[in-house]
Amino acid sequence: MRKNSLRSTMPYLSSGLLTLFGLGVYEGGSWSETVSREEEETTVNPQLAEHSKIMQKKIYRVRDNVYLAYGYGLANAAMIVGDDGVIIIDTMENEKSGREVLEEFRKITDKPIKAIIYTHHHPDHIFGVKAFISENDAREGKTEIYAHESLLENLTKDIDLAPVMSVRAFYSMGTFLEKGPGGAVEAGIGPEWREGSLTFIRPTKTFRDTLDVEVAGIRMHLFHVPGEASDEIAVWFPDMAVLHTAEIIQGETFPNIYSIRGSRFRDPVKWFKSIDKLREFPAKHMVPSHGRPVSGNKNIRGILTAYRDAIQFVHDQTVRFMNKGLTPDELVEVVKLPKYLAGHPWLGEFYGTVDHSVRQIYNGYLGFFDGDMTYLAKPEHVERAVRYVEIMGGRDNIIETAQKAIMEKRYGWAMDILTWVIRMNYNDMEARKLKAEALRHWGYLQTSINWRNWALTAALELEGELDISQKHGFGSTDIIKSLPARGMLEGLTMKLKAEETMNVHKILGISLADTGDRYGLEIRRGVCQFHSELPAKTSATIIATKDTLIRILLGEATLEESAKNGSIEIEGKLEDVKDFFSHFEHPSKEPIKLTMR
């Protein structure tokens, strides 16, 4: 992937110049024309440009009553039309995308939505739900929402990491990049992540392993298939021979066994075994959460087999060479897909890559340590940079060497050596701009959209042109209010200012008037312990509804206001409650830097 030879132009070309070179103009997540075959003046890898052509908006009629909305956002939404209602599988990444899809679906049928299925907890599959139904629809039983029993738990864990995870996701999705050949081209598994209101409604029906249910005359077999997410579920429609594969099949791209934005360990063995479950069904139609639908049992079996074999190959060969003592940097040089898999149309490295999958498998089994104690004995962060710069002949020699490396198209080497100069002095704009140039050129070569987007966004960060203040993370108020209060209280423990509480021992009781839940938080010498029951002895206890408590924790209401207007009661002193919460950190207003370090 990284050996493709491309010449790069300045990052931002006018649309007229683009047309002149046959590059086309970026329109709604895909290219309107093919890219030039000539390598000169090109900022997009030809394979990636070719892949982007498939990202056109389209409602696919899979069979008589099954439809798939493709190209309207990062993920797909499916509609199955029943006797007296419809079933929606996945609801897009936000309300705006969801409404656009629903408008298209309503051109097909006006039957009410009887059920929604969340295939898993990731944002692009669930956060557009309020475009399709209201909270009252779910509360009153007009629409059931089906999901795996661990969906809320997984979503809560992601919300705990929302500040850093959101920024990292924006880097990999190209959210900060201009749309076009010098910036965001597509999203690998879909045309793009679209901005819009993030909404959420809690599932009403959950299960662990399997669930057989009939909705609107449609029989469904829902079953657990851990892989890309541990709460993933697929759906088999036996009367129609339709298989919804969720995100176990990530579309026409090598799967993201590891996400460079960050994720919990995605067990590749569980993943390919989940695909084996899919292979058991005599499907005539395959409907994925990403990618276009596929018809014909032979075609479906071929794709499923190749997909699972690619995952097992990378896993098994990584473990094989790990057992020979190879480290991650060595493993990525020897673990390569065989030609018959590397050339498969559903396994191009446009989203996931073999390289970062191999590193994750090593880390999942052995952790970060590669066996060389040098890693643990190396000097501290900045001191190490200073010493490296010194032995490399000083700053000016590194700048000169990096300039030469860029001319010779050795962009990775230029990025590597410039890192030490920047780490030594974050204000060295010459070094920062030079590394940005190397990053941008390197990014243009990539087929993996995650690698490309991250590189181009990192270039903006180094140049001081990145503004993340107007971007909102995945932890929106609407989502947080839909989650169990317990999850938010447990997440609060990770916001404790430990350094200020080494001599503190206080216990706060929390009693939720509407749900009957009673919890405790105990600060004890730099640690905050969550108690699943109300402790017998507390410094103070706050009594409130769940919504009121969450509004206080989110900063939408104050303790003083809530006590004064009677929306909370306090057993003990208000000042003690205020003092308790003062030990927790508010979200930082400082942008998270991912490249300047």
CA distance 486 to 492: 10
Can you say whether the dihedral through the CA atoms of 245, 487, 582, 566 is positive or negative? Answer: positive
Residues 6 or more apart in contact with residue 391 via CB below 8 angstroms: none
pLDDT of residue 245: 98
Cβ atoms of 156 and 491 within 8 Å: the answer is yes
Cβ atoms of 120 and 218 within 8 Å: the answer is no
Can you say whether the dihedral through the CA atoms of 51, 57, 60, 65 is positive or negative? Answer: positive
Structural fold of domain 484-581: Nonspecific Lipid-transfer Protein; Chain A (3.30.1050)
What φ, ψ does residue 190 adopt, rounded to 5°?
A: -175, 175
CA distance 559 to 210: 45
User: Hunting for tokens 């052509």 — which residue is that?
Assistant: 53
DSSP 3-state of 571: strand
What φ, ψ does residue 543 adopt, rounded to 5°?
A: -115, 120
Can you say whether the dihedral through the CA atoms of 71, 73, 76, 77 is positive or negative? Answer: negative
Can you say whether the dihedral through the CA atoms of 365, 367, 368, 370 is positive or negative? Answer: negative
Cβ atoms of 146 and 117 within 8 Å: the answer is yes
Cβ atoms of 38 and 21 within 8 Å: the answer is yes
Q: At what angle do helices 162-173 and 151-160 cross, to 10 degrees?
A: 90
pLDDT of residue 22: 26
Can you say whether the dihedral through the CA atoms of 200, 205, 206, 212 is positive or negative? Answer: negative
Q: Where are the domains of the chain?
A: 15-50, 51-228+259-264, 374-463, 484-581
Q: At what angle do helices 449-463 and 162-173 cross, to 10 degrees?
A: 110
CA distance 591 to 466: 10
Q: With left for phi above 0 and alpha for psi between -120 and 50, is residue 576 left, alpha or beta?
A: alpha
DSSP string, 196-262: --------SEEESSEEEEEETTEEEEEEE--SSSTT-EEEEETTTTEEEEETTS-SSS---SS-TT-
From the list 91, 103, 100, the residue with the least C-alpha distance to 130 is 91
Cα-to-chain-centroid distance, residue 222: 24
From the list 67, 203, 60, the residue with the least C-alpha distance to 125 is 203
Superfamily for domain range 51-228+259-264: Metallo-beta-lactamase domain (3.60.15.30)
Contacts 24+ apart (CB under 8 A), 556-560: 556/477
What φ, ψ does residue 385 adopt, rounded to 5°?
A: -60, -45
Q: With left for phi above 0 and alpha for psi between -120 and 50, is residue 578 left, alpha or beta?
A: alpha
Structural fold of domain 374-463: 1.25.40
pLDDT of residue 475: 58
pLDDT of residue 471: 59
CA distance 225 to 247: 9
Each of the 597 residues of the chain gets a pLDDT tens digit; together they read 333 334 332 222 222 222 222 222 223 334 334 444 454 347 999 999 999 999 999 999 999 999 999 999 999 999 999 999 999 999 999 999 999 999 999 999 999 999 999 999 999 999 999 999 999 999 999 999 999 999 999 998 888 777 788 888 889 988 889 888 889 999 999 998 888 889 999 999 999 999 999 999 999 999 999 999 999 999 999 999 999 999 999 999 999 999 888 888 899 999 999 999 999 999 999 999 999 999 999 999 999 999 999 999 999 999 999 999 999 999 999 999 999 999 999 999 999 999 999 999 999 999 999 999 998 999 999 999 999 999 999 999 999 999 999 999 999 999 999 999 999 999 999 999 999 999 999 999 999 999 999 999 999 999 999 887 765 555 567 787 788 888 889 889 999 999 999 999 999 999 999 989 999 999 999 999 999 999 999 999 999 999 899 888 888 889 999 999 999 999 999 999 999 999 998 766 677 888 888
Same fold, 51-228+259-264 and 374-463: no
From the list 26, 7, 348, the residue with the least C-alpha distance to 184 is 26
For residue 437, the surrounding DSSP H or E stretch is: helix 429-445
pLDDT of residue 474: 56
From the list 243, 326, 233, the residue with the least C-alpha distance to 288 is 243
From the list 83, 72, 48, 77, the residue with the least C-alpha distance to 62 is 77
